[in-house]
Structure 1
Amino acid sequence: MPIFAVHYVYTDATAAARLENRPEHRGWLNNLVDQGTILTSGPYPDGTGALILFRAESLEFVTDLLPQDPFAKLGLIEDKRAVEWLPVMGVFSEE
């Protein structure tokens, strides 16, 4: 099944609101991890965004899920990019 990389972009203006709402955001992510839909997720150390790796049938499935993220519902994501990713080695490759 394909893997999709989702890059979130954050701004300093939403840092306090993200901190306040992080438990709900992480709960949403953890539920998708438990379902096998998210492989891993985490913020960039400089606070500019985050990376989420999804295993899903299609990009459309992923993009339909993203508005359900509590951060998205609250307008805390400045921008996002979702692309199919093809790992050719390591733990996420199919070889």
Structure 2
Amino acid sequence: MIAVEVAYTTPSPERDRLRPAHRERLNGLHAEGKVFASGPWPDDTGALLIFNTEADEAQRLVDEDPYFQADGVRVVSVREWNVVVGGPQE
């Protein structure tokens, strides 16, 4: 699994405009089994996304989503994550 941490650096009308399509896309990727979970931090300073893909595919999916290139959005890290408890059943 791949963990992608995102920071919201400044208020952004562009980010707000792109958010509905971004969430719809993530819902589709979740239905396909490519996104395990995603959501913002409670204080709305950023978000965490957990991809159930290889690192290169997770990076491609991030790169293809205009939301991640919007003003006020910064990808902080893209890291492999080892699931110890929970996660998708194999």
Shorter-chain TM range is: 0.7 to 0.9
Match of 2:28 among 13, 27, 31: 31
Quote the Cα distance in structure 1 between the aligned partners of 2:40 and 2:73.
12
Gap change, CA 1:76 and 1:12, over 3 Å in 2: closer
> TM-score with structure 2 length normalisation?
0.84
What corresponds to 1:19 in structure 2? 16
> TM-score with structure 1 length normalisation?
0.80
Q: Which runs of 5+ in 1 are unaligned?
A: none
Q: SS of 1:78's equivalent?
A: strand
Quote the Cα distance in structure 1 between the aligned partners of 2:10 and 2:71.
13
Quote the Cα distance in structure 1 between the aligned partners of 2:26 and 2:88.
22
The answer on whether the counterparts of 1:71 and 1:77 sit within 8 Å (CA) in structure 2 is yes
Quote the Cα distance in structure 2 between the aligned partners of 1:73 and 1:8.
11
The answer on whether the counterparts of 1:86 and 1:93 sit within 8 Å (CA) in structure 2 is no
Identity of aligned residues (%): 33
CA RMSD of aligned residues (A): 2.0
Encode CA deviations 1:64-89: one digit per residue, 9 max, x unaligned: 11111231243442233111111212
Encode CA deviations 1:30-73: one digit per residue, 9 max, x unaligned: 110011000110001111110001111x2111111111123124
When the two structures are aligned, how many residues end up with a matched partner?
90
